[in-house]
Structure 1
């Protein structure tokens, strides 16, 4: 494979919070939101949006995830002050922020290593709609593919395999 224009994600039969990700002719397991797939994504519902979302950019921990630079995506290091605002009424809703930050935010430098490689999807970026969901990422999965808060997550091995094939033209399409 030279590059991927589309990744297709669908729920696994019988388990709404786990899925299958198709990348060309390859299929990988993935985790989905605890709320399954939703056509009406709302902040805090734990659902993965039913949508076609472009890969915008990414973040990684160089100390934990070697090889994240081997991609055509714009990647930035995750430092200790990187956060992501999740408060719908805040002016920086669904944007990266420097922490400490006054409004509720997610810390990107996580102890559980889920964001050691974390790709930003264009869900609710432009235009941003208050309360329609924030921090919808393509990131690393927990062992056993336990549910995310609405993101799509794969193993570190799968992410390493996919990164060289991804670009800002790649679309992650969540379907039913």
Structure 2
């Protein structure tokens, strides 16, 4: 592990010498991630993308991509686009990346079950804004807006996100 790694601890994500409080999956951390289980997957993930709402934020880093009205993320295990960015219209189950609430104003995507997605192993494991402190997610890791902006400005593609197996079941 290095200082440039993001490491989940019981107090939050440790990154570049700081602890950023966060929320994880409402059912905790798991070593057996499945679609819809509400758990954050244990393992070593990598940051693969950075998306932002250009109507609400300035680009937080030079590599950030704007989220448009037709941007989606497919969460249908039976669809060829499972756990990938997609565009509307998409007849399969999906999440809209452009939401009315601020949760996805800024999204860091990970390589959990990506790019070669195995159906049912989980999708859309993102870093995004939380609803409120410690409010469980569907499996993502969520932060305050200020902390997420800071993380997005400092992370680069390939930054490791380490979610220790030791936290599974807690």
Considering the TM-score relative to the shorter chain, is it more than 0.5?
yes
The one of 121, 137, 149 equivalent to 1:148 is: 137
Normalising by structure 1, we get a TM-score of 0.87
Provide the TM-score with structure 2 as the length reference: 0.90
How far residue 145 of structure 1 moved from its aligned partner, in angstroms, is 3.2
- Which residue matches 2:28? 36
**C-alpha distance in structure 2 between counterparts of 1:164 and 1:109, whole Å:** 20
Larger proportion of strand: 1
RMSD: 1.6
Q: How many residues align?
A: 164
SS in 2 for 1:111: coil
2:158 is the counterpart of 1:169: yes
Alignment of structure 1 residues 10-25 onto 2, 5 Å: 10=9, 12=10, 20-25=12-17
Q: For residue 15 of structure 1, what is the aligned residue in structure 2?
A: none
Q: Aligned equivalents of 1:130 and 1:46: distance in 2?
A: 16
Secondary structure, in 3 states, of the residue corresponding to 1:123? Answer: coil
Residue segments in structure 2 that go unaligned for 5+ positions in a row:
none
Runs of 4 or more above 2 Å deviation: none
Q: What's the offset of the Cα at 1:22?
A: 0.5
Matched, 1:112 2:101: yes
What's 2:18 paired with?
A: 26
Unmatched runs of 5 consecutive residues or more in structure 1? 13-18
